[in-house]
Structure 1
Amino acid sequence: MTAPGPDSLRALLEALRPDEGDEHISLRQIIGHVGDRSFSGLVLLIGLILVSPLSAIPGAPTMGMLIIVTTTSQYLLGRDHLWLPAMLLDRSLDRDRVERAIDFLHKPLGWVDRRTRRRLPFLTHRPLKWLVVLTIMATALPWPLLEPLPMVTSIGATAISLLSIGLVTRDGLFVVLGYAFLGALGVTLFQVWGAIW
Protein backbone atom coordinates (compact mmCIF):
# COMPACT_ATOMS: atom_id res chain seq x y z
CA MET A 1 0.00 0.00 0.00
CA THR A 2 1.67 3.18 -1.20
CA ALA A 3 2.66 5.75 1.40
CA PRO A 4 0.54 8.90 1.31
CA GLY A 5 1.59 12.31 0.12
CA PRO A 6 1.61 13.94 3.59
CA ASP A 7 4.98 13.43 5.34
CA SER A 8 3.66 12.88 8.88
CA LEU A 9 0.68 11.28 10.56
CA ARG A 10 -0.61 14.64 11.77
CA ALA A 11 -0.29 16.02 8.25
CA LEU A 12 -2.27 13.02 7.01
CA LEU A 13 -4.90 13.75 9.67
CA GLU A 14 -5.29 17.22 8.18
CA ALA A 15 -6.64 15.54 5.03
CA LEU A 16 -9.87 15.19 7.00
CA ARG A 17 -10.19 18.94 7.47
CA PRO A 18 -12.81 20.49 5.16
CA ASP A 19 -11.75 23.21 2.73
CA GLU A 20 -12.20 26.80 3.80
CA GLY A 21 -15.89 27.73 3.71
CA ASP A 22 -17.15 24.14 3.37
CA GLU A 23 -19.55 22.84 6.00
CA HIS A 24 -18.94 19.21 5.04
CA ILE A 25 -16.13 17.08 3.67
CA SER A 26 -16.76 14.16 1.32
CA LEU A 27 -14.67 11.06 0.78
CA ARG A 28 -13.98 12.40 -2.72
CA GLN A 29 -12.35 15.49 -1.17
CA ILE A 30 -10.35 13.39 1.30
CA ILE A 31 -8.93 11.28 -1.52
CA GLY A 32 -8.15 14.50 -3.37
CA HIS A 33 -6.11 15.62 -0.36
CA VAL A 34 -4.10 12.38 0.03
CA GLY A 35 -3.98 11.19 -3.58
CA ASP A 36 -5.61 8.21 -5.31
CA ARG A 37 -2.47 6.09 -4.87
CA SER A 38 -2.56 6.41 -1.09
CA PHE A 39 -4.22 3.10 -0.31
CA SER A 40 -2.68 2.77 3.17
CA GLY A 41 -3.27 6.45 3.94
CA LEU A 42 -6.98 6.15 3.24
CA VAL A 43 -7.30 2.95 5.30
CA LEU A 44 -5.52 4.67 8.19
CA LEU A 45 -7.84 7.68 8.00
CA ILE A 46 -10.92 5.42 8.08
CA GLY A 47 -9.46 3.54 11.04
CA LEU A 48 -8.82 6.82 12.86
CA ILE A 49 -12.35 8.05 12.14
CA LEU A 50 -13.73 4.92 13.78
CA VAL A 51 -11.42 5.27 16.78
CA SER A 52 -12.59 8.86 17.25
CA PRO A 53 -16.03 10.04 18.43
CA LEU A 54 -17.12 9.96 14.77
CA SER A 55 -17.61 6.19 15.23
CA ALA A 56 -20.87 6.98 17.04
CA ILE A 57 -22.49 8.23 13.82
CA PRO A 58 -25.14 5.68 12.76
CA GLY A 59 -23.90 3.69 9.77
CA ALA A 60 -20.27 4.79 10.18
CA PRO A 61 -18.87 1.28 10.94
CA THR A 62 -20.68 -0.24 7.94
CA MET A 63 -19.52 2.55 5.64
CA GLY A 64 -16.00 2.20 7.03
CA MET A 65 -16.04 -1.53 6.32
CA LEU A 66 -17.15 -0.93 2.72
CA ILE A 67 -14.38 1.60 2.12
CA ILE A 68 -11.66 -0.52 3.76
CA VAL A 69 -12.67 -3.76 2.02
CA THR A 70 -12.97 -2.02 -1.36
CA THR A 71 -9.60 -0.29 -0.89
CA THR A 72 -7.69 -3.35 0.33
CA SER A 73 -9.22 -5.55 -2.39
CA GLN A 74 -7.97 -3.21 -5.08
CA TYR A 75 -4.51 -3.13 -3.54
CA LEU A 76 -4.36 -6.94 -3.48
CA LEU A 77 -5.48 -7.00 -7.12
CA GLY A 78 -2.53 -4.77 -8.01
CA ARG A 79 -4.35 -1.60 -9.03
CA ASP A 80 -2.16 1.51 -9.21
CA HIS A 81 -4.98 3.96 -8.55
CA LEU A 82 -7.86 3.73 -6.14
CA TRP A 83 -11.40 3.57 -7.49
CA LEU A 84 -14.50 3.87 -5.33
CA PRO A 85 -18.16 4.03 -6.40
CA ALA A 86 -19.93 7.38 -6.32
CA MET A 87 -22.14 6.09 -3.50
CA LEU A 88 -19.06 6.06 -1.24
CA LEU A 89 -17.24 9.04 -2.73
CA ASP A 90 -20.19 11.35 -2.16
CA ARG A 91 -20.65 10.42 1.51
CA SER A 92 -19.80 13.42 3.66
CA LEU A 93 -19.13 14.34 7.26
CA ASP A 94 -20.23 17.45 9.11
CA ARG A 95 -17.47 20.03 9.62
CA ASP A 96 -18.03 20.44 13.37
CA ARG A 97 -17.85 16.68 13.98
CA VAL A 98 -14.69 16.41 11.88
CA GLU A 99 -13.02 19.32 13.66
CA ARG A 100 -13.73 17.66 17.03
CA ALA A 101 -12.30 14.36 15.77
CA ILE A 102 -9.14 16.09 14.51
CA ASP A 103 -8.69 17.78 17.89
CA PHE A 104 -9.23 14.41 19.61
CA LEU A 105 -6.58 12.67 17.47
CA HIS A 106 -4.03 15.44 17.00
CA LYS A 107 -2.06 14.96 20.21
CA PRO A 108 -1.87 11.13 20.14
CA LEU A 109 -0.78 11.15 16.49
CA GLY A 110 1.87 13.74 17.31
CA TRP A 111 3.16 11.39 20.02
CA VAL A 112 3.26 8.52 17.49
CA ASP A 113 4.94 10.74 14.87
CA ARG A 114 7.84 11.40 17.23
CA ARG A 115 8.39 7.69 17.81
CA THR A 116 8.10 6.15 14.35
CA ARG A 117 11.18 5.15 12.40
CA ARG A 118 12.24 2.41 10.02
CA ARG A 119 12.16 -0.79 12.11
CA LEU A 120 11.53 -4.38 11.05
CA PRO A 121 11.00 -3.16 7.47
CA PHE A 122 10.46 -6.67 6.10
CA LEU A 123 7.01 -6.65 7.77
CA THR A 124 5.93 -3.71 5.60
CA HIS A 125 7.11 -5.11 2.27
CA ARG A 126 5.79 -7.94 0.12
CA PRO A 127 5.01 -10.74 0.72
CA LEU A 128 4.39 -10.02 4.42
CA LYS A 129 2.65 -6.76 3.51
CA TRP A 130 -0.08 -8.85 1.85
CA LEU A 131 -0.67 -10.59 5.18
CA VAL A 132 -1.06 -7.21 6.88
CA VAL A 133 -3.58 -6.10 4.25
CA LEU A 134 -5.56 -9.35 4.54
CA THR A 135 -5.61 -8.95 8.33
CA ILE A 136 -6.97 -5.40 7.95
CA MET A 137 -9.68 -6.66 5.59
CA ALA A 138 -10.67 -9.55 7.89
CA THR A 139 -10.82 -7.24 10.90
CA ALA A 140 -13.21 -4.83 9.14
CA LEU A 141 -15.58 -7.42 7.64
CA PRO A 142 -17.66 -8.11 10.81
CA TRP A 143 -18.31 -4.42 11.55
CA PRO A 144 -21.86 -4.27 10.12
CA LEU A 145 -22.89 -7.09 12.49
CA LEU A 146 -21.16 -5.42 15.45
CA GLU A 147 -22.56 -1.95 14.77
CA PRO A 148 -25.45 -2.26 17.27
CA LEU A 149 -22.90 -2.72 20.08
CA PRO A 150 -21.73 0.77 21.16
CA MET A 151 -18.08 1.55 20.40
CA VAL A 152 -17.18 -2.13 19.79
CA THR A 153 -15.98 -1.41 16.26
CA SER A 154 -13.56 1.14 17.73
CA ILE A 155 -11.59 -1.80 19.17
CA GLY A 156 -11.08 -3.33 15.73
CA ALA A 157 -10.42 0.14 14.30
CA THR A 158 -7.59 0.56 16.82
CA ALA A 159 -5.93 -2.59 15.51
CA ILE A 160 -6.40 -1.45 11.91
CA SER A 161 -4.94 1.95 12.79
CA LEU A 162 -1.83 0.34 14.32
CA LEU A 163 -1.31 -1.91 11.29
CA SER A 164 -1.88 1.01 8.90
CA ILE A 165 0.53 3.25 10.80
CA GLY A 166 3.12 0.54 10.28
CA LEU A 167 2.48 0.55 6.52
CA VAL A 168 2.34 4.33 6.18
CA THR A 169 5.55 4.96 8.16
CA ARG A 170 7.31 1.70 7.15
CA ASP A 171 7.69 0.96 10.87
CA GLY A 172 7.24 -2.78 11.38
CA LEU A 173 7.05 -2.33 15.15
CA PHE A 174 3.55 -0.90 14.73
CA VAL A 175 2.61 -3.91 12.61
CA VAL A 176 3.74 -6.11 15.52
CA LEU A 177 1.69 -3.98 17.92
CA GLY A 178 -1.35 -4.37 15.68
CA TYR A 179 -0.98 -8.14 15.60
CA ALA A 180 -0.41 -8.21 19.38
CA PHE A 181 -3.54 -6.11 19.95
CA LEU A 182 -5.62 -8.49 17.83
CA GLY A 183 -4.09 -11.49 19.59
CA ALA A 184 -4.92 -10.07 23.02
CA LEU A 185 -8.44 -9.31 21.83
CA GLY A 186 -8.85 -12.88 20.56
CA VAL A 187 -7.67 -14.35 23.88
CA THR A 188 -10.04 -12.07 25.81
CA LEU A 189 -13.02 -13.02 23.65
CA PHE A 190 -12.15 -16.73 24.00
CA GLN A 191 -12.03 -16.40 27.80
CA VAL A 192 -15.31 -14.48 27.92
CA TRP A 193 -16.94 -17.09 25.69
CA GLY A 194 -15.63 -19.87 27.94
CA ALA A 195 -16.94 -18.13 31.04
CA ILE A 196 -20.40 -17.73 29.51
CA TRP A 197 -20.66 -21.31 28.33
Structure 2
Amino acid sequence: MRKTEIRTFQDYRDWPLSTLLDAVDRAATDEKVEMRDILSEIGDRTITPVILVVALFLVSPMSGVPGIPTISAVIIVMLAVQGLMGRRLWLPQRIMRMRIGASTLTRVVAWLRRPAAWIDRNSSPRLQYLTRGPMRMIILLQCAVIPLGWPALELVPGVTSLAAATIGLFAFGLFARDGYFVIAGYIGMIAVPLGAVLLLQVAVT
Protein backbone atom coordinates (compact mmCIF):
# COMPACT_ATOMS: atom_id res chain seq x y z
CA MET A 1 0.00 0.00 0.00
CA ARG A 2 1.47 3.33 -1.01
CA LYS A 3 1.66 6.33 1.30
CA THR A 4 -0.52 8.38 -1.02
CA GLU A 5 -3.36 5.88 -0.62
CA ILE A 6 -3.54 6.34 3.14
CA ARG A 7 -5.27 9.14 4.95
CA THR A 8 -5.11 8.27 8.64
CA PHE A 9 -3.64 5.36 10.53
CA GLN A 10 -6.85 4.73 12.48
CA ASP A 11 -8.59 3.46 9.32
CA TYR A 12 -6.11 0.60 8.84
CA ARG A 13 -5.61 -1.71 11.82
CA ASP A 14 -3.37 -4.06 9.83
CA TRP A 15 -0.76 -1.56 8.70
CA PRO A 16 2.81 -2.79 9.06
CA LEU A 17 5.11 -0.96 11.42
CA SER A 18 6.85 0.72 8.49
CA THR A 19 3.57 2.30 7.43
CA LEU A 20 3.04 3.57 10.96
CA LEU A 21 6.40 5.31 10.60
CA ASP A 22 5.14 6.72 7.29
CA ALA A 23 2.25 8.29 9.20
CA VAL A 24 4.65 9.88 11.70
CA ASP A 25 6.88 11.09 8.86
CA ARG A 26 3.94 12.79 7.17
CA ALA A 27 3.48 14.99 10.24
CA ALA A 28 6.81 16.71 9.52
CA THR A 29 5.36 19.38 7.23
CA ASP A 30 6.51 22.46 9.17
CA GLU A 31 9.77 23.42 10.80
CA LYS A 32 8.35 22.39 14.18
CA VAL A 33 5.96 19.47 14.68
CA GLU A 34 3.51 19.37 17.58
CA MET A 35 2.34 16.21 19.28
CA ARG A 36 -1.16 16.96 17.99
CA ASP A 37 0.20 16.87 14.40
CA ILE A 38 1.55 13.37 14.93
CA LEU A 39 -1.72 12.20 16.48
CA SER A 40 -3.69 13.65 13.59
CA GLU A 41 -1.78 11.33 11.26
CA ILE A 42 -1.90 8.26 13.51
CA GLY A 43 -5.49 8.83 14.67
CA ASP A 44 -6.90 9.01 18.18
CA ARG A 45 -9.27 6.05 18.24
CA THR A 46 -6.78 3.49 19.51
CA ILE A 47 -4.20 3.87 22.24
CA THR A 48 -1.81 1.04 21.41
CA PRO A 49 -0.22 2.61 18.29
CA VAL A 50 0.53 5.82 20.17
CA ILE A 51 2.18 3.90 23.01
CA LEU A 52 4.18 2.06 20.35
CA VAL A 53 5.33 5.28 18.66
CA VAL A 54 6.42 6.88 21.96
CA ALA A 55 8.31 3.71 22.92
CA LEU A 56 10.02 3.58 19.52
CA PHE A 57 11.17 7.18 19.88
CA LEU A 58 12.73 6.31 23.21
CA VAL A 59 14.51 3.30 21.72
CA SER A 60 16.08 5.68 19.19
CA PRO A 61 18.95 8.09 20.00
CA MET A 62 16.32 10.54 21.30
CA SER A 63 16.53 8.70 24.63
CA GLY A 64 19.74 10.61 25.30
CA VAL A 65 18.01 14.00 25.21
CA PRO A 66 17.48 15.26 28.80
CA GLY A 67 13.83 15.18 29.79
CA ILE A 68 12.66 12.93 26.95
CA PRO A 69 12.55 9.73 29.07
CA THR A 70 10.52 11.50 31.77
CA ILE A 71 8.06 13.02 29.28
CA SER A 72 7.74 9.67 27.50
CA ALA A 73 7.07 7.95 30.80
CA VAL A 74 4.26 10.38 31.62
CA ILE A 75 2.65 9.89 28.20
CA ILE A 76 2.89 6.08 28.24
CA VAL A 77 1.55 5.77 31.79
CA MET A 78 -1.38 8.06 31.00
CA LEU A 79 -2.25 6.15 27.84
CA ALA A 80 -1.89 2.72 29.44
CA VAL A 81 -4.17 3.72 32.32
CA GLN A 82 -6.74 5.02 29.84
CA GLY A 83 -6.54 1.71 28.01
CA LEU A 84 -7.13 -0.17 31.24
CA MET A 85 -10.16 2.00 31.96
CA GLY A 86 -11.52 1.64 28.45
CA ARG A 87 -11.28 5.38 27.84
CA ARG A 88 -10.65 7.14 24.55
CA LEU A 89 -7.17 8.57 24.02
CA TRP A 90 -6.67 11.93 25.72
CA LEU A 91 -3.59 13.97 26.49
CA PRO A 92 -3.33 17.35 28.26
CA GLN A 93 -3.03 20.38 26.00
CA ARG A 94 0.45 21.05 27.36
CA ILE A 95 1.61 17.71 25.97
CA MET A 96 -0.37 18.12 22.76
CA ARG A 97 1.44 21.41 22.16
CA MET A 98 4.91 19.96 22.75
CA ARG A 99 7.07 20.41 19.68
CA ILE A 100 9.96 18.64 18.01
CA GLY A 101 12.02 19.84 15.08
CA ALA A 102 10.87 18.35 11.77
CA SER A 103 14.46 17.49 10.86
CA THR A 104 14.90 15.64 14.16
CA LEU A 105 11.65 13.77 13.63
CA THR A 106 12.62 12.65 10.14
CA ARG A 107 16.07 11.53 11.35
CA VAL A 108 14.50 9.44 14.11
CA VAL A 109 12.03 7.88 11.67
CA ALA A 110 14.87 7.12 9.24
CA TRP A 111 16.86 5.49 12.06
CA LEU A 112 13.90 3.26 12.89
CA ARG A 113 13.24 2.15 9.31
CA ARG A 114 15.61 -0.80 9.21
CA PRO A 115 14.47 -2.48 12.46
CA ALA A 116 10.85 -1.76 11.50
CA ALA A 117 11.34 -3.51 8.16
CA TRP A 118 12.78 -6.57 9.93
CA ILE A 119 9.85 -6.66 12.36
CA ASP A 120 7.36 -6.37 9.49
CA ARG A 121 8.96 -9.35 7.74
CA ASN A 122 8.85 -11.48 10.86
CA SER A 123 5.43 -10.70 12.30
CA SER A 124 1.98 -12.13 11.68
CA PRO A 125 -1.12 -12.89 13.78
CA ARG A 126 0.07 -15.69 16.09
CA LEU A 127 -0.90 -16.88 19.58
CA GLN A 128 -3.60 -14.22 19.48
CA TYR A 129 -5.04 -15.27 22.85
CA LEU A 130 -2.01 -13.54 24.40
CA THR A 131 -3.18 -10.20 22.98
CA ARG A 132 -6.87 -10.28 23.93
CA GLY A 133 -9.16 -10.03 26.93
CA PRO A 134 -7.46 -10.38 30.33
CA MET A 135 -4.04 -10.84 28.71
CA ARG A 136 -4.40 -7.45 27.03
CA MET A 137 -5.23 -5.89 30.40
CA ILE A 138 -2.13 -7.46 31.95
CA ILE A 139 0.03 -6.06 29.16
CA LEU A 140 -1.43 -2.56 29.57
CA LEU A 141 -0.80 -2.81 33.31
CA GLN A 142 2.84 -3.64 32.62
CA CYS A 143 3.03 -0.65 30.27
CA ALA A 144 1.69 1.55 33.07
CA VAL A 145 4.16 0.25 35.67
CA ILE A 146 7.43 -0.13 33.73
CA PRO A 147 7.95 3.61 32.99
CA LEU A 148 7.48 4.72 36.61
CA GLY A 149 11.19 4.44 37.34
CA TRP A 150 12.41 6.22 34.20
CA PRO A 151 12.71 9.72 35.70
CA ALA A 152 15.10 8.39 38.36
CA LEU A 153 17.12 6.42 35.79
CA GLU A 154 17.27 9.12 33.16
CA LEU A 155 20.95 9.85 33.72
CA VAL A 156 21.98 6.20 33.37
CA PRO A 157 22.70 5.63 29.65
CA GLY A 158 20.77 2.83 27.97
CA VAL A 159 18.40 1.83 30.76
CA THR A 160 15.35 3.72 29.54
CA SER A 161 15.98 2.55 25.97
CA LEU A 162 15.98 -1.07 27.12
CA ALA A 163 12.80 -0.56 29.10
CA ALA A 164 11.17 1.27 26.20
CA ALA A 165 12.09 -1.64 23.93
CA THR A 166 10.16 -3.93 26.27
CA ILE A 167 7.10 -1.69 26.08
CA GLY A 168 7.55 -1.50 22.31
CA LEU A 169 7.46 -5.31 22.10
CA PHE A 170 4.29 -5.41 24.20
CA ALA A 171 2.60 -2.64 22.21
CA PHE A 172 3.55 -4.15 18.86
CA GLY A 173 2.28 -7.53 20.02
CA LEU A 174 -1.11 -5.97 20.74
CA PHE A 175 -1.02 -3.90 17.57
CA ALA A 176 -0.16 -6.83 15.26
CA ARG A 177 -2.00 -9.43 17.36
CA ASP A 178 1.28 -11.34 17.50
CA GLY A 179 1.77 -13.27 20.71
CA TYR A 180 5.40 -13.97 19.90
CA PHE A 181 6.23 -10.31 20.46
CA VAL A 182 4.26 -10.37 23.71
CA ILE A 183 6.41 -13.27 24.88
CA ALA A 184 9.50 -11.31 23.85
CA GLY A 185 8.19 -8.44 25.98
CA TYR A 186 7.97 -10.67 29.04
CA ILE A 187 11.52 -11.89 28.38
CA GLY A 188 12.53 -8.24 28.22
CA MET A 189 10.96 -7.63 31.61
CA ILE A 190 13.45 -10.09 33.05
CA ALA A 191 16.42 -8.97 30.98
CA VAL A 192 16.00 -5.21 31.52
CA PRO A 193 16.46 -5.23 35.32
CA LEU A 194 19.56 -7.39 34.92
CA GLY A 195 20.87 -5.01 32.26
CA ALA A 196 20.06 -2.02 34.47
CA VAL A 197 22.08 -3.48 37.33
CA LEU A 198 25.06 -4.04 35.04
CA LEU A 199 24.82 -0.51 33.62
CA LEU A 200 24.59 0.96 37.12
CA GLN A 201 27.69 -0.98 38.15
CA VAL A 202 29.54 0.39 35.14
CA ALA A 203 28.33 3.93 35.88
CA VAL A 204 29.58 3.93 39.48
CA THR A 205 32.95 2.36 38.75
71 and 192 in structure 1: CA distance in 2 versus 1, 3 angstrom threshold: closer
- Is the Cα contact below 8 Å between 2:49 and 2:171 reproduced in 1? yes
Please say if residues 16 and 25 of structure 1, whose CA atoms lie closer than 8 Å, have aligned partners that are also in contact.
no
The answer (yes or no) to whether the contact 1:118–1:172 under 8 Å persists in 2 is yes
Residue 163 of structure 2 corresponds to residue 156 of structure 1: yes
Over aligned residue pairs, what C-alpha RMSD do you find? 2.2
**CA-to-aligned-CA distance 1:40-60 (integer Å, 9 cap, x gap):** 000000000000011122210
User: Which is further off, 19-28 or 165-174?
Assistant: 19-28
TM-score, normalised to structure 2, is 0.86
Q: Which amino acid aligns with 2:51?
A: V
Query: 1:62-101 alignment to 2 at 5 Å?
Result: 62-79=70-87, 81-101=88-108
Normalising by structure 1, report the TM-score: 0.89
Corresponding residue for 1:33? 41
Tell me the distance in 2 between the aligned counterparts of 1:148 and 1:190: 14
- The residue that corresponds to 2:32 in the other structure is 24
C-alpha distance in 2, partners of 1:137/1:181?
A: 15
Q: What is the identity percentage for the equivalent residue pairs of Structure 1 and Structure 2? A: 35
CA shift, 1:185, in A, is: 2.6
Partner secondary structure for residue 17 of structure 1: helix
Match of 2:173 among 156, 166, 169: 166
Q: Work out whether 1:136 is the aligned partner of 2:138.
A: no
Counterparts of residues 170-185 of structure 1 (less than 5 Å): 170-185=177-192
Partner of 2:6: none
Stretches of structure 2 that go unaligned for 5 or more consecutive residues are 1-8
Tell me how far apart the structure 2 counterparts of residues 138 and 123 of structure 1 sit (CA, whole Å).
19
CA contact (8 A) 1:5 1:34 kept: no
Which residue of structure 1 lines up, in the alignment, with residue 133 of structure 2? Answer: 126
Preserved CA contact (<8 Å) 1:44 1:161: yes
For residues 132 and 148 of structure 1, what CA distance do their matches in structure 2 show? 27
Q: Hey, what's the Cα distance between the residues in 2 that align with 1:193 and 1:148?
A: 10
Q: CA deviation at 1:38?
A: 2.1
- Unaligned 5+ segments in structure 1 are none
Instruction: Give, in angstroms, the shift of residue 4 of structure 1.
Output: 4.7
Distance 1:85 1:193, change over 3 A: closer
The aligned residue for residue 109 of structure 2 is 102
Q: Secondary structure at the match of 2:133?
A: coil
Distance in 2 between the 1:20 and 1:85 partners? 21
**CA distance in structure 2 between the aligned counterparts of 1:145 and 1:191, rounded to whole angstroms:** 16
One-letter amino acid of the counterpart of residue 113, structure 2: H
- TM-superposition CA deviations, 1:34-89 (whole Å, max 9, x none): 1111200000000000000111222101110111011111111111x211100111
Task: Say if 2:139 is the partner of 1:146.
Answer: no
- Structure 2 residue 7 is the aligned partner of structure 1 residue 13: no
